[in-house]
Amino acid sequence: MQVVDFKTYVQYVMAAEWPPTWTDAALQTGAMAVKQYGWYYTMHYRGGSGTGGCYDVADNTNDQIYQPESRTKKPAHLLAIDATWTKSATKNGSFALMGYRSGASVACGADADGFHLYQHSSLACANNGMTVDQILHVYFDPGLVIWTPAATPSVIFFSPANQAQVTTGTAATLSWAEQPTAGTTIASRHESLLMALPLNGSCAVDRWVTIASPGWQATAASPQTVTGLRPGFCYRAVVALTDSNNVTTQWQSGTMRVDAAGPRATFTGPLPNVVTATTSSSVTVSWTETVTSGTHIISRRLSTERSAQAGAGTCAGAQWVAIGATTAASPVSSTGLGRLYCYRYSLVLTDSAGHTSTTVSAVVQEPSV
């Protein structure tokens, strides 16, 4: 028996059950079925037990195939899951159990029975231009209700980058890109700071407070410069966006640990403060280094970080994973970039006085075509 994060479980089931070459609508419909099926049985225990204890679903065709040792998650699977992750469905007022079967290559909905998604005929629906919601209604009506949260504007931070800790001096530049919901514009914005005490040199702490010093706030667009940061503390930027539909969302940046004496790196490529789209499989990563008087750089480590795009053409909400590193000086050629991924670069510098800093680059985005 294995205990596994639910999203990881759905990703590997998709890799086993749905061909990655199928259309977006077909894969997203499959992602809905896999998610609904798995979650239904976490809420409706059927008495399964084994040497490792109780379990919710089997890892074979009795339920859903889960084989992380032999299956490979493809970008198409990850995108389909992310595109539908916040959606859920009920049938006749209860959480919908969405079973599915392979079925035959027949016309869209020809084998629909109200309780199963038939994969091959649902592919025909997708190829006919139907949306995910329309396909689900074909196979699970009557009584199906699909719940989708309201779309909200989003932010991707460049400095300090999302999910990163950087080391800065007593002043810092905050920069971000805004992604309004389709059909809306950003009506207003509000920026502020949170502060925390580091734990063993790390800003990965639970207690953050709104600060009085510096009591910095702004309402202007990116970039913004904040001064008066205090050595020995961690800071995090907060940007709240309100769109033309009066929907407000709040996003928090990565963290800044203040060390005024630490070495500084400034990326000159990827282009700072923007998402750089490229169809090339390689980019040149370059930066400049600045040290405190009397010191010099004794080590550097540049890590390549990658994330599947949370949605086609967007890096907002990316979940970054390091996939390689080098100790070479600037410039460095980064190769092997793949479609439907986002990339960024994390540089750690250490000087001869023992000060260390981390700087994270802007983002490179590989489009889907």
Q: Per-block average pLDDT, block size 10, for the chain (369 residues)?
A: 80 92 93 93 73 68 79 86 90 93 95 95 94 96 90 89 91 92 92 93 88 80 94 95 93 94 94 89 96 96 88 76 94 92 94 94 82
Task: State whether 190 and 284 are in the same domain.
Answer: no
Quote the number of domains for the chain: 3
Task: State whether 249 and 340 are in the same domain.
Answer: no
**What confidence score (pLDDT) does residue 52 get?**
64
Closest CA to 258 of 286, 226, 287: 226
Owning domain of residue 210: 151-260
Task: State whether 213 and 126 are in the same domain.
Answer: no
Beta carbons of 167 and 202 less than 8 angstroms apart: no
Task: State whether 139 and 251 are in the same domain.
Answer: no
CA distance 143 to 134: 13
**What confidence score (pLDDT) does residue 328 get?**
97
Task: State whether 128 and 11 are in the same domain.
Answer: yes
Task: State whether 155 and 123 are in the same domain.
Answer: no
Task: State whether 32 and 62 are in the same domain.
Answer: yes
Task: State whether 179 and 195 are in the same domain.
Answer: yes
Structural domain contains residue 102: yes
Structural domain contains residue 16: yes
Structural domain contains residue 1: no
* Pair of tokens at residue 293: 């008087």
Task: State whether 140 and 11 are in the same domain.
Answer: yes
Structural domain contains residue 282: yes
CA distance 236 to 226: 11
Final residue belonging to a domain, choices 131, 147, 163: 147
User: Could you tell me how far CA 139 lies from the centroid of its own chain?
Assistant: 30
Task: State whether 285 and 301 are in the same domain.
Answer: yes
CATH of the domain at 240: 2.60.40.10
Task: State whether 183 and 299 are in the same domain.
Answer: no
Task: State whether 105 and 195 are in the same domain.
Answer: no
